[in-house]
Amino acid sequence: MAKSETHNSYLDMVDHPAHVKKLTLKQLEQLAKELRVELIEGLAQNGGHLGPNLGVVELTVAMHRVFETPKDKFVWDVSHQSYVHKLLTGRKDRFRTIRTTDGLNGFSLRTESEHDCYGAGHAGTALSAALGMAAARDQRGGDENVVCVFGDAALTNGCSFEALNNIAHTTNKFIGILNDNEWSIAKNVGAISNYLNKLITNPSYNKIAHDLQHFLEKIPTGKLAVRLGLKGQEAIKGTVTQVALKHNEDTLDADGRGGFGSSLIFEEFGIRYLGPIDGHDLPLLIETLEFAKSCEQPIVLHVITKKGKGFNAALKHPEKFHGTGPYNPKSGESAPGKPGTPPKYQDVFGGTMVKLCRKDKSVVGITAAMPSGTGLKALEEAVPKQYYDVGIAEEHAVLFAAGMATMGFRPVCAIYSTFLQR
């Protein structure tokens, strides 16, 4: 039993995901609180991907409430955010061994549990893998659900778009969940990140949607439409789009393009879109997932979550707590290092890059969404004009560097070796 639990802990009652289905909604909400406590306390000694997992607690609980693993397949992009899934699938007693020798793996691992259908370690690969599973299911006439959870950062990766381009042509039964927390490890960059932010913050859309929501609540079945998040898509999309398009004729962006009036990118790929919805509203998540489960065409749910939710230190420092070392579970302060510990390699590299760039303006540093891990964060802060973050796109980073080199520049492209796996 985990230290944070008592004899009547709901987490203590869950030894298999089927047990999640037996809990009432109120009990599930309490379970979510207990899961956050276990994450915060359980990772304090050895560290781990705390922030991402705190953000998907309600989503993971809702997934296990609606679907049935291992029959149904959960594919997690990267899979660093699958800790709650591990806690709910018979591994809670070993949870505090995570990322230690002979302990639980920090990612999904097929050999660790029948509930882990796919192993990963890098962003952008889940949609393709999940689509392959869906195609195999269709070939043999199966009826299991394939649910792919991918982050907004995965949409800075070309592989994700290759999969999106193929989904509607391959299967009629596919559920994607876009876990939008505006972060990968570092803050997301690029046009796709800006697109998603505009979608959920556009004042034209939100004003019309808010007014129409009140109207829907006054008519039969309207409240259900609102609860299902249909104010974001199904119930009012047509009306909001037409009104917003008209409104946007007079309120174009500086580049001449409208805000919400632009087509939803997923629907351009032939995929039904639903959202954005609150990723911490458990009843809403359950109802929406039930709707997606019954959908007879590929669908993507756009879920808005808060990375680090429930732990102030992680909310204040999302990059640090994306993947953290040991820390104080109450204050969030990092455990003190050993006296005489030499500087980290990435810190030496980052400092050297700053010196080189100041000395030679043809030297530039390039990272693929890993400024802190590679040490190039120091370059971003000191010499920003000679720093590039291209997002989670290693293949693009290398070719981008090659292009700069042909023009006489001296690019230094810093990439984690494990992120070259694709």
Report d(CA 297, CA 293) in Å as an integer: 10
140 catalytic? Reply is: no
Catalytic residue among 34, 38, 380, 394: 394
In this prediction the pTM is 0.78
Report d(CA 6, CA 23) in Å as an integer: 17
Catalytic residue among 110, 257, 330, 422: 422
Q: What is the pLDDT of residues 232-271, one digit of tens each?
A: 444 444 333 333 334 433 433 443 333 333 336 888 899 9
pLDDT recorded at residue 150: 94
Report d(CA 246, CA 269) in Å as an integer: 24
385 catalytic? Reply is: no
Tokens of 111: 């050999």
422 catalytic? Reply is: yes
Report d(CA 144, CA 148) in Å as an integer: 13
The CATH architecture one would assign to domain 345-420 is 3-Layer(aba) Sandwich (3.40)
Sheet holding 175-180, edge to edge: 73-76, 146-151, 175-180, 299-304, 272-278
**Per-residue model confidence as pLDDT tens for the chain (422 residues):** 454 444 479 999 999 999 999 999 999 999 999 999 999 999 988 888 888 999 999 999 999 999 999 999 999 998 889 999 999 999 999 999 999 999 999 899 999 999 999 987 788 899 999 999 999 999 999 999 999 999 887 888 889 999 999 999 999 999 999 999 865 444 544 555 555 555 544 555 455 555 555 555 555 544 445 444 444 444 444 333 333 334 433 433 443 333 333 336 888 899 998 888 999 999 999 999 999 999 999 999 999 999 989 887 888 887 777 878 888 888 888 888 777 789 999 999 999 999 999 999 999 999 998 999 999 999 999 999 999 999 888 999 999 999 999 999 999 999 998 888 76
Task: State yes or no: cis peptide before 318, omega within 30 of 0.
Answer: no
Q: What is the pLDDT of residues 334-379, one digit of tens each?
A: 888 777 789 999 999 999 999 999 999 999 999 998 999 999 999 9
Angle at 88 between CA 86 and CA 89, to 5 degrees: 65
pLDDT recorded at residue 191: 52
**Would you list the domain boundaries of the chain?**
10-202+260-316, 345-420
Angle at 344 between CA 315 and CA 384, to 5 degrees: 65
CATH of domain 10-202+260-316: 3.40.50.970
Catalytic residue among 65, 137, 307, 320: 307
Task: State yes or no: cis peptide before 70, omega within 30 of 0.
Answer: yes
Does 345-420 match 10-202+260-316 at the fold level? yes
What residues form DSSP beta bridges with 410?
A: 363
